Amino acid sequence: MSKKTKLDIYPNSPLIEVIFEIKFPGEPVVECRRDIFFDFIREDYSKIFVPQAKEGSFVALEPYHFEKEDRSSGIMLAINKFSYYCRKYPGFALFKKEVIRLLEMFKKTYPKINTLSRTGFRYVNIIPFTREDGIVPLNRFLKVKLQMPTTIPERYKNISVGFIAKTNGGSITIRIETLLAADKSGEAILLDIDYAKEEGLSIAHVKKYLDESHTYSRQLFEDLITESYRMFLRGESI
C-alpha cells in the first residue's frame, strides 16, 4: 500500500457513516440488563428504536437502537453484538474516544462477556457523479479496473460489484455500486469498506483492534481513490 496520508478527515469527505462493531456468543443477559445499560447512556442517547418482527428472523438477534436527538450517531445492542455508528464523522480520534467510553459502560453492564467472535470497522462513502455520454466515469474517482473479456467494452452504464478477501486474522469486504437518489435528482457511487477481525479476539484488546482496523481501512481508501479525486476531497480543485 502507498504511504498513509496524514489527514484524518477531508474537508469534502464522501463519508456518510462510520461503524465499529463487536460480536460475541449470544448472551441472554444482554436482554435482562438492557435497562441498566440504557441508564448509563440515556443522557446522550435518549431516542429508542425497538426492532420489529420480520418474517424468517429472530427478534432477539435484531438490535435495539439508541440514538442522539439529532440522530447524528447511535448504538446498536442485540443478544450477540454491540456497535457504535456515526453519521457526522468527527475524525478518528473523537470517534475512538466515544467507542471506548461506550464500551466501558458495556463492560460494566455485562462483565461476563469477554470473548469476541468478530470485530468490524466500516467506512460507507457516497461519491456523487455525472454521467459522461451515458457512462459511469468510474476511473475519475477510483483506481478500480474490472477485468473482463475483450468482447465486453469497458463502458459501464451501471456497476454492482463486491468481494470478500482474506486478511491476516480476518477479512476485508468491498462493495462498489452505482445508486440513484430516491427523488432521482442525482447519482452516486457507493464505496463500502468493511474490515473484520475474526480470530483469537478478547474484549480486553478492543483498542488495539480498533486502531488496526482504522489504519487498514483508511489506507485502503487512500489506495483506491485517484489523485484527482483526492485533490477534490482536499478542496484543492473543483
Per residue in 22-56, pLDDT tens? 999 999 999 999 999 999 999 999 999 998 766 66
Q: What percent of the chain has pLDDT over 70?
A: 92
What is the value of pTM for the model shown? 0.89
- What is the pLDDT confidence band of residue 148, given thresholds at 50, 70 and 90? confident
Strands 118-129 and 160-167: unpaired
Using the predicted structure, report yes or no on whether residue 3 has a pLDDT greater than 80: no
Three-state DSSP class for 33?
A: coil
- Residue 193 forms beta bridges with which residues? 123, 174
Calpha distance 155→135 (Å, rounded): 6
Q: Give, for 107, the enclosing helix (H) or strand (E).
A: helix 92-109
Residue with cell 456515526: 86
- Of 113, 120, 108, the C-alpha closest to 26 is 113
- The per-residue pLDDT of the chain, averaged, comes to 91
Distance of CA 6 to the CA centre of its chain: 21
CA distances from 192 to 15, 17, 27, 175, 221 (A): 10, 10, 30, 5, 10
- Residue 58: per-residue pLDDT: 65
- Residue 174: per-residue pLDDT: 96
Three-state DSSP class for 96?
A: helix
Calpha distance 225→238 (Å, rounded): 16
Calpha distance 30→33 (Å, rounded): 6
- b/e per residue, 86-108, with b = 16+ CB within 10 A? bbebeebeebeebbeebbebbee
Give the tens place of pLDDT for each residue, 48-95: 999 876 666 666 678 999 999 999 999 999 999 999 999 999 999 999
CA distances from 3 to 62, 182, 223, 228 (A): 40, 38, 9, 17
Using the predicted structure, report yes or no on whether residue 12 has a pLDDT greater than 90: yes
Amino acid at position 70, single letter: D
Q: What's the mean pLDDT in 218-225? A: 95
Contacts 24+ apart (CB under 8 A), 222-227: 222/1, 222/2, 222/4, 222/5, 223/1, 223/2, 223/143, 224/142, 224/143, 224/144, 224/191, 225/141, 225/142, 225/143, 226/139, 226/140, 226/141, 226/142, 226/143
Calpha distance 140→157 (Å, rounded): 15
